[in-house]
Amino acid sequence: MKNSFGFILILAAMVIFGFRISKGIEFKQNVRGYLKRAADSNTIQLANEEISKAINYLDANNITSGFTSVLYKTPDEDIDFWYRNLKASQNELQTLSSKSALERTNVLIKLRETLLDTGEKTKVTFPEGLHLYPYNKLWAVLTIIALGCLCYGFIIIAMHYDKLEQVRKKKEVSDVLV
């Protein structure tokens, strides 16, 4: 019975982690992926199409302001600034009227620098935890609960198998004595 309870706790933790992972995949499909493609675009039109897809998703899901922070607000978790920056980039792409290849290239370079963080690994710039917004606090609590369930579930199962091993050893000893 206790063994089953341990497996149920582990299963509950896996379900929570699974939902969290699926939210991250959904965000990559609808925002992060399009922003990366906009940054990689070679033409103004293509970049505008890609950034517009991401902005349309953000608008449709009301991800335009607030903070992704759970404990305290920091500038890198400010959705409003990030969103307004995206909108400004989109506006610049849409209103560019210059036929100059140099100016068009400069706009694309500026867009790339806006959308990507370069370092050891190049990645799309966005507030950490945006895929969980607006339920970041709930997801923080659920993640802590899931970690607890996972640990407690493994402890229960380990204790159960330890008891089974002790019973098996006692049975072996009694079989030898008989």
What per-residue confidence (pLDDT) applies to 178? 57
Segment 18-68, tens digit of pLDDT: 999 999 999 999 999 999 999 999 999 999 999 999 999 999 999 999 999
At 107 the pLDDT is 94
Q: Are 157 and 3 in contact (CB under 8 A)?
A: yes
Average pLDDT of the residues in 148-176: 77
Rounded Cα–Cα distance for residues 160 and 6 (Å): 9
Residue 142: pLDDT band with limits 50, 70, 90: very high
C-alpha span between 43 and 37 (Å, rounded): 11
> How many C-beta atoms lie closer than 10 Å to residue 29's C-beta?
11
Q: Give the contacts of 9 (CB within 8 A, at least 6 positions apart).
A: 149, 150, 152, 153, 156
Share of the chain above pLDDT 70, in %: 90
Q: Using one digit for the tens of pLDDT, what is the confidence trace for 113-140?
A: 999 998 889 999 999 999 999 999 999 9
Round the average pLDDT of the chain to a whole number and report it.
Answer: 91
33's enclosing H/E stretch is helix 33-40
**Other CB atoms within 10 Å distance of the CB of residue 118:** 10
